[in-house]
Homo-oligomer: A and B are copies of this chain.
Amino acid sequence: MQPIQFTSETSANGVLERTFTLDDVTGVLFSPASGSDSAPLILMGHGGGLHKKAPGLTARAHQAVRTDGFVVASIDAPGHGDRPRNERDRRWVAELTRARAAGESLAPIVAEFNSSLAERAIPEWRATIDALQMLPEIGAEAPIGYSGMTLASTIGIPLVSVESRITAAVFGGVYAYRELLDAARRITVPIEFLLPWDDTELDRESGLAMFDAFASKDKVLHAFPGGHHQVPTDGRIDTRFFARHLGRVGARSA
């Protein structure tokens, strides 16, 4: 098993950011600058076309580290961020650009493209978990959650359906295509599902069908006005989900 290679380190406002590589995967680990010991680990995925340190993701990661003492790991999806994009992925991106300009539905292209990305990303996330658990500040006992919308849900839903180390997850903003619905039906851990009510690129029915599919008894849907680029940060959808399900560092050490 490959160990993680840390490649850079910065620290600001109590949050340590360390970029890393694992084979050809590039990632970043956010953790309390004061140190952490078996703190809960949140895996955060980024949206399509974005990367491991996208501003929204970084803001959520910093908040999780500062508010709850969590450790957050984020990796670039295949062909995203610091990772080269292959020829087939480039064609999909071109098809998406064309369909968006023509006002056509993106659903069929997104389903095909994201399925292919998910197939490649799932073993990468599992290898990342293996390698993170080898770090002394994380270890094999840290509870693990997964969080991410759009592309990160397309990857995360099949990931969580096969990865029993992930015991709570936040998803949202995804097309309900068949493989994804099938994966959701195999998920039984607590789920929070976010539905942007006015997303121009996603239809409500698709989101509602996804929420319906999860086998989890403990699940909740939060819907809010606006698109998936406008997820509210005013507390409206903040139920302290990971703090309730993975425990806080303070609570765990008691």
Q: Which residues of A contact B (CB under 8 A)?
A: 192, 195, 197, 204, 208, 211-212, 217-225, 232, 234-240, 244
Neighbouring B residues of A232 by C-beta, 8 Å: 220
The smallest beta-carbon distance between A171 and chain B, in angstroms, is: 14
Query: A222-B221, A223-B220, A224-B221 in contact; A237/B239 too (CB < 8 A)?
Result: yes
Neighbouring B residues of A239 by C-beta, 8 Å: 235-239
Determine how many copies of this chain the complex contains: 2
Neighbouring B residues of A223 by C-beta, 8 Å: 211, 220-221, 223
**Which residue, of A192, A197, A204, has the highest number of chain B Cβ atoms within 10 A?**
A197
What is the chain B residue whose CB lies nearest that of A195? B221
Neighbouring B residues of A204 by C-beta, 8 Å: 208
For the complex of A and B, 9 pairs with smallest distance between CB atoms: A221-B223, A220-B236, A220-B224, A235-B244, A238-B239, A239-B239, A235-B239, A236-B239, A222-B222
Q: A197-B221, A220-B224, A222-B222 are in contact. List 14 more A-B contacts (CB 8 A).
A: A197-B211, A208-B208, A217-B225, A220-B222, A220-B232, A220-B236, A220-B237, A221-B222, A221-B223, A223-B223, A235-B240, A237-B239, A238-B240, A239-B239
Neighbouring B residues of A212 by C-beta, 8 Å: 197
Within the assembled complex, what's the spacing in Å between the Cα atoms of A232 and B241? 14
Neighbouring B residues of A244 by C-beta, 8 Å: 234-235
